[in-house]
Structure 1
Amino acid sequence: MYRIVGDDIDARLHARPRILGLDLLRALAAWLVLLSHVAFWTGRSSAGIVGGLAARGELGVAIFFALSAFLLSTPFVRRALGQPARWSLGTYLVRRAARIMPAYLLALAGVVTAAAVIGGAAADVLDLPTVLVHLVVGQGWTGRTFQSFTQTWSLTTEVTFYLVLPVVALVLARPTRGATPLATAHRLLVACGVVAVVGLVCQGATGLLPSPEDAGVLGTSAAGHAAWFALGAAVTVVIEAEHAGHPVSRRPWLEVLRTSPGTLVLLAGVLWLAASSDVAGPRGLEPASGLESVAAEALYGLVAGCLLLAATTRGLTELLTDSSVAGPARWLGDISYGVFLWHVVVLQVSFAVLDLQLFAAPFGLVLVLTTVVSVGLAHLSWSLLERPVLARAHRRRHAPVPQPASRA
């Protein structure tokens, strides 16, 4: 039976195997976000079923958030269940910074350079205050960002989650202290449910705020997306309780969820199709109503939950490890963050160089071009910058054990 770990820099840095299903899931999440932006820039998002599915590729962010919560909550859940799990705040913060900042700052330099060279709308917010806000990853709170870095609002939310998680874990430690492992698991699941409801309420409240800017900040904040984080943590509870010999339920439906990745992927596809309809709100920049925001939040979260459960199916890691996809899966997981960071500036430069018309460009051509170039840049970013930095962060001698590092 495998155990949950986070990023592996290489085999020398981790004694336990990484979950290859999560690498594939990271890659899928990054490509879905890329797909949604290509659909928007080319105008395809407004037309047909394919356009709707492509537009809802933004649910890749829900997958990223669920993954972060799944990985980073692991030591806290293990400790609550009475399992060994050493954790250091200093190591945690260093590794979060090492995971997020180097590649982010490199991409930010590329974005600023592209804006200065291209000019026009690309340089509308090219000023010192905007750059400074981005240097502290605060664009999600201000709503002011570069045309080719709009996707990084999620990094503000991700960093907020990094800071809030240890506090939440500390708060939940008291009500779970002294309980049996099974009772603890149930209490943690109830807590995850409460947090998820709070997140959905925050999404509904966005339709009541008079200011679109305030509604946008609340809707994209860690509070607004608390349901996605709670869902990832809930999956951690289910799996860690199972590993500890105390499954949260022995009902047949849970066994199906833990052993049927194909069923889960199919269900995720059906939910994605449902999300592509008007029930999840407009496909463009028009503001969604409170109910539409709640529907999108719930549907995106369910897709993420299904795929996360599929990626952590019992026996899947062993199956993938022994197959020919193991190497490509690790590589795709490694470069997924770079794909996320670079793809919009690749879009912007491509439109400028090829003189493509916004909202009227060939979808297929732009999708292939953006994917190929983004993957190339992401590979360089991982090989030349991210991997060396992460390797150094994981060699810290005082670090107790390797701690998971999510890839936003």
Structure 2
Amino acid sequence: MKAGQTGSEKREGYIYGIDGLRAVAVLMVFAYHLRLPFAKGGLLGVTVFFVISGFLITRILITELENTHTINLKNFWLRRMRRLLPAVLTMLPVLIFVTAIFNRVLFTKACSDLLSVLLGYNNWWQIFNNVSYFENAGAPSPLTHCWSLAIEAQFYLVYPLLLIFLSKLRNKKKKMMIVTILLAFVSVILMAVLFDPAKDPSRAYYGTDTRVFSLLFGSFLAFVTQDGRLERKVAGLIRESVGVLSFAGLLCMMAAIDGYSSFLYRGGQALASLLALFVILAVLNKRSVLGRVLSILPLKWIGERSYGIYLWHYPIILLLSGGKKASWWIGLIAILLTFLAAGFSYRFIETPIRHGVIRKNLDIIRREPRTRRERKRQIRFLRRGLKITAFVLSVGVSSILCVALVPRKSVLSNKEELEAQADQAKAKQTDSEGEESKSRKEMTDEELLADLDLLLMGDSIALGASDEFYAAFPNSICDAAVSRYTTESFDLYDSYVNEKGWAGDGVIFALGSNGLLYDSLGTMREKLGPDMPFFVFTARAPYTTWETSNNEEIYEFTDSTDNTYLIDWYGVSEGHAEYFDADETHLTEEGAKAYIECIKEEVLKVYKEE
């Protein structure tokens, strides 16, 4: 999330309207993480950042290529490091210290992500270490948002090399443009192909290959606008109108499209990138209405500090809210603290280092003094430099000691224990249905439940209650697994029916805590046929953004669908903190008993009537 160009890059042609676009983007990301209702798709702010970064960086690169016929990679990479690293190296020690004292779970998660953030591969770290629901229980890592910084860092590393290679060919500019746009469309296709709503979408969301199209679209715009011909060919009124409509379209997408919508992976992100392009094209004309609006002082101030705001806002939100939807006053405190931290970082760390304060101070210290006054000044700078160096070293060493020595604390670290417990409970399951000497009408409640052959398809929450499930339903099946998505239920059900010959009395759908429902309820209802009872659990997952929407869909579906019954775990568990572990999602022993009681009550209502 670049907050601006380096001092050497700022010139008379600086586009202040882009600062305003940055400001809108970072504010929408902020609002999305605060779970404000008008920012359902606020994560598209990251897409806008990518487009801006690709555009500005490519302008710098092709200008250097035109002037020198090459790119000084060393200088380019050093400038990028001076721009990105100081703010990160300021935020990380503060985060480590604060979480080590006040929230050991967040501290543990931050420590796990630390190296990947520093070395610029956090997005691939998240993909290859596909952290299970157990590992992600409770609030996510406070460094999760650094995946986007990693993609930008990787782009800065690779794209200049590609341009240098293409610059050796004939018609180099044309070939650069063609290769850039072709790679962008390949990336768009990869996102659509790799996205599967039945699986963890992180591969498509976090991958450099699946997200780089936004940066490349920005790069393509830099090529077509570099010589000013496009602006001259396209009438100002047309560019202005398209820009305003595109800006309105972006705001609508950020406000209305759910961040987990399949549409975003199948063209929505690309559409948002193109809309951002048209906005940039419009604000290239500083006299445009849109350019003037986006250049107003508040937006300019936020845009210049957008990188710091992006870095600080997410850890602060998690520290204050614990990862759950925050009250308005918690949100207000988070905003104030974020702006203070970002303002301090921009004023005293990012800007001085970006303008070469370290090199200037070293030059003063190394210079041979010609007068006594210069000698005193040199000594003063040396003392200041030593103090700053000592402070930086002490902070660095202290952070390392925290990471190395402070005890870690993970939420639900007993994953293996729960799975073993579930296996043992399943092993005790009765193989035969037993004798049916009585009709179900003559049975006691316990006998009726023991006689039923139900199939419970669940996630890690049901896994923690499997022992109690088999105690109440010894002739039934509990198939629960960590990080199971709702759409995985289709193949699971088919495997029981087609491969194991299961033809039981009903199905319990205890999923919905790990992601959106998509079309799972309707599809499962069709698979079961009209005669088999279908029981659906509501979700208690306060750290997710889909808890409310999933539950609303479940309430509506069970109310309007025949032979489909609600098990309202969300309603039953409301106000019962004793039911949950520290993540307020997974079950204690008491919670497991209450969880199974919910099933028993609803099942008895249905089968007693039969």
- Whether these two folds match at TM > 0.5 is yes
Superposed, which structure 2 residues align to 1:58-77 within 5 Å?
Answer: 58-77=43-62
* Greater CA drift, 188-197 or 384-393: 188-197
Is it true that 1:193 corresponds to 2:193 in the alignment? no
Q: How far has the Cα of 1:63 moved from its partner?
A: 1.2
Is it true that 1:315 corresponds to 2:287 in the alignment? yes
Superposed, which structure 2 residues align to 1:273-312 within 5 Å?
Answer: 276-277=256-257, 281-282=260-261, 292-312=264-284
1:7 aligns with 5
Q: How far has the Cα of 1:205 moved from its partner?
A: 2.8
Contact 1:76–1:85 (CA<8 Å) still a contact in 2?
A: no
Cα separation, 2, equivalents of 1:32 and 1:300? 14
Is it true that 1:336 corresponds to 2:306 in the alignment? yes
Q: How far has the Cα of 1:29 moved from its partner?
A: 1.8
Change (3 A) 1:394 1:170: farther
Is it true that 1:206 corresponds to 2:194 in the alignment? yes
CA RMSD of the aligned region, Å?
3.6
> Which of 369, 386, 404 is 2:333 aligned to?
369
Q: Which has the higher contact order (CA 8 A, sep 6+)?
A: 1
* Greater CA drift, 257-266 or 223-232: 257-266
Partner deviation per Cα, 1:56-86 (whole Å, 9 max, x = no partner): 1111111111111101111443467x56787
Contact 1:111–1:149 (CA<8 Å) still a contact in 2?
A: no
> Which of 98, 101, 105 is 2:89 aligned to?
105
Contact 1:27–1:332 (CA<8 Å) still a contact in 2?
A: yes
Cα separation, 1, equivalents of 2:294 and 2:240? 24
Cα separation, 2, equivalents of 1:123 and 1:314? 45
Partner deviation per Cα, 1:374-402 (whole Å, 9 max, x = no partner): 11110001111111110107978xxxxxx
2:351 aligns with 387
Counterpart amino acid of residue 179 in structure 2: A
Change (3 A) 1:8 1:135: closer
Is it true that 1:250 corresponds to 2:244 in the alignment? no
Structure 2 segments unaligned to the other structure (5+ residues): 132-139, 361-610
Counterpart amino acid of residue 117 in structure 2: H
> Which of 97, 103, 108 is 1:119 aligned to?
103
Change (3 A) 1:25 1:72: same
Cα separation, 2, equivalents of 1:368 and 1:325? 25
Superposed, which structure 2 residues align to 1:32-111 within 5 Å?
Answer: 32-39=28-35, 44=36, 51=37, 53-78=38-63, 87-111=71-95
Counterpart amino acid of residue 308 in structure 2: G
Change (3 A) 1:326 1:84: farther
Contact 1:269–1:303 (CA<8 Å) still a contact in 2?
A: no
2:156 aligns with 162
> Which of 200, 220, 225 is 2:211 aligned to?
225
Cα separation, 2, equivalents of 1:325 and 1:197? 32
Is it true that 1:262 corresponds to 2:244 in the alignment? yes
Contact 1:8–1:18 (CA<8 Å) still a contact in 2?
A: no
Cα separation, 1, equivalents of 2:215 and 2:76? 18
Partner deviation per Cα, 1:115-135 (whole Å, 9 max, x = no partner): 2122354234254x5433333
Q: How far has the Cα of 1:264 moved from its partner?
A: 3.5
Structure 2 counterpart SS, 1:225 = helix
Counterpart amino acid of residue 59 in structure 1: L
Q: How far has the Cα of 1:351 moved from its partner?
A: 2.2
Partner deviation per Cα, 1:195-217 (whole Å, 9 max, x = no partner): 221111221232369973xx524
> Which of 340, 347, 351 is 2:321 aligned to?
351
Cα separation, 2, equivalents of 1:319 and 1:55? 26
Q: How far has the Cα of 1:228 moved from its partner?
A: 0.3
Counterpart amino acid of residue 45 in structure 2: G
Contact 1:140–1:221 (CA<8 Å) still a contact in 2?
A: yes
> Which of 147, 152, 158 is 1:153 aligned to?
147
Partner deviation per Cα, 1:212-258 (whole Å, 9 max, x = no partner): 3xx5245323211122012111221232132xxx4389366x86126
Cα separation, 2, equivalents of 1:123 and 1:14? 38
Cα separation, 1, equivalents of 2:231 and 2:301? 34
1:139 aligns with 122
Q: How far has the Cα of 1:315 moved from its partner?
A: 3.0
Is it true that 1:20 corresponds to 2:22 in the alignment? no
Structure 2 counterpart SS, 1:141 = helix
Cα separation, 2, equivalents of 1:247 and 1:33? 31
Cα separation, 2, equivalents of 1:240 and 1:317? 22
Structure 1 segments unaligned to the other structure (5+ residues): 1-5, 45-50, 283-287, 397-408
Q: How far has the Cα of 1:15 moved from its partner?
A: 4.7
Normalising by the residue count of structure 1, what TM-score does the alignment of the two structures yield? 0.73
Structure 1 counterpart SS, 2:247 = helix
Counterpart amino acid of residue 15 in structure 2: I
Contact 2:24–2:299 (CA<8 Å) still a contact in 1?
A: no
Is it true that 1:234 corresponds to 2:220 in the alignment? yes
Change (3 A) 1:34 1:271: closer
Cα separation, 1, equivalents of 2:249 and 2:294? 26
Larger helix share, 1 or 2: 1
Q: How far has the Cα of 1:22 moved from its partner?
A: 1.4
Counterpart amino acid of residue 269 in structure 1: L
Counterpart amino acid of residue 119 in structure 2: V
Q: How far has the Cα of 1:26 moved from its partner?
A: 1.9
In terms of Rg, which structure is larger? Answer: 2
Contact 1:59–1:300 (CA<8 Å) still a contact in 2?
A: yes
Cα separation, 1, equivalents of 2:166 and 2:231? 18
Cα separation, 2, equivalents of 1:22 and 1:59? 16
Contact 2:6–2:355 (CA<8 Å) still a contact in 1?
A: no
Percent of paired sites with the same residue: 20
Cα separation, 1, equivalents of 2:291 and 2:213? 31
